[in-house]
Structure 1
Amino acid sequence: MRRFALLIALAALAGPAQAQDRWADATVVSVRLTSFDFTPEEIALPAGRPVVLRLYNDSSGGHNFAARDFFRAAEMRPADRAKVVNGAVEVRSGATVEVGLVPAAGRYRLRCTHTFHTALGMRGSILVR
């Protein structure tokens, strides 16, 4: 019985370490948000592999990275789930927000949902393959 308990304890310790290793090898993809565009405008990501989106707002006003279908289809890093609200990540002026995820294959619409920002050109796409 003692040996069984030890095996369970070791398995519990190995679980988080394996999860951390998965994100240690994640590809970092930087996206710059400005008034009024995303750079790059088309973001290419590998399907089924861990990615960290590094979103940087380089403008004097707030923006968001809104891609509801993209976030819905992706497997999110547990620590980052709360950063995505209604399919969007808010990024304050001068701030950087990182979101770890494993994207699903597809083409997704990207935009800033702040008033008139999409109409002013703040839109793009995410291609995952």
Structure 2
Amino acid sequence: MSALRLLSAAILAGATLVLPAHDVAAQPTKPTVTITLASHYFQPNPIYLAGGVPVHLVLQNKSGKTHDFTAPDFFRTSQIQAGSAPDGKITLEKGRSATIDLIPRRGTYRLHCSQPLHTMLGMAGKIVVS
């Protein structure tokens, strides 16, 4: 019996045809790290990441004013896969969010908000990549 006839017979008989899985769901997913920017702090702080491991960063501005996530050394040494951080900074208007996929390099990096007086008010921290 031909393969087409066998397939047709199996379908008519209600059999389930199992094909090898090649779907995207079988791929390992990147861990997601959500970072909140608010008046006047980052949460979590410090931010812990694994060196050499791809990560999906979600930055959320939960305040009613503009904040930014400024970490030039961190972004310069990381391999950015999707998104961008021009001049090592991601600026978020009130209530907005942004994402960036990257592979961080081991080290400890300074983080701050460069908006006027925000660093002095406590919007500073560090990113620890081990």
TM range (shorter): 0.7 to 0.9
| Identical counterparts, % of pairs | 37
Q: Contact 1:25/1:50 (CA < 8 Å) preserved in 2?
A: no
Counterpart of 2:92, as a letter, is V
- In the alignment, which residue of structure 2 is the partner of 1:40? 44
* Structure 1 gaps, min length 5: 1-19
Q: Given the alignment of the two structures, is residue 67 of structure 1 paired with residue 85 of structure 2, yes or no? A: no
Q: Given the alignment of the two structures, is residue 55 of structure 1 paired with residue 56 of structure 2, yes or no? A: no
Q: Is the partner of 2:87 in helix, strand or coil? A: coil
* Structure 2 gaps, min length 5: 1-23
Q: Is the partner of 1:117 in helix, strand or coil? A: coil
**1:65-119 deviation per Cα after TM superposition (whole angstroms, max 9, x unaligned):** 0000000000001x313xx111100111111101110000000000000111001
- In the alignment, which residue of structure 1 is the partner of 2:116? 115
Question: For the residues of structure 2 that align with 1:99 and 1:115, how far apart are their CA atoms?
Answer: 25
TM-score by length of 1: 0.78
Q: Contact 1:51/1:100 (CA < 8 Å) preserved in 2?
A: yes
Kindly state the Cα deviation for residue 24 of structure 1 after the two structures are TM-superposed.
6.2
Q: Which has the higher helix share?
A: 1
Counterpart of 1:44, as a letter, is Y
Aligned residues: 106
TM-score by length of 2: 0.77
Question: For the residues of structure 2 that align with 1:31 and 1:80, how far apart are their CA atoms?
Answer: 16
Structure 1 segments, 4+ long, off by >4 Å, are: none
Question: For the residues of structure 1 that align with 2:75 and 2:97, how far apart are their CA atoms?
Answer: 18
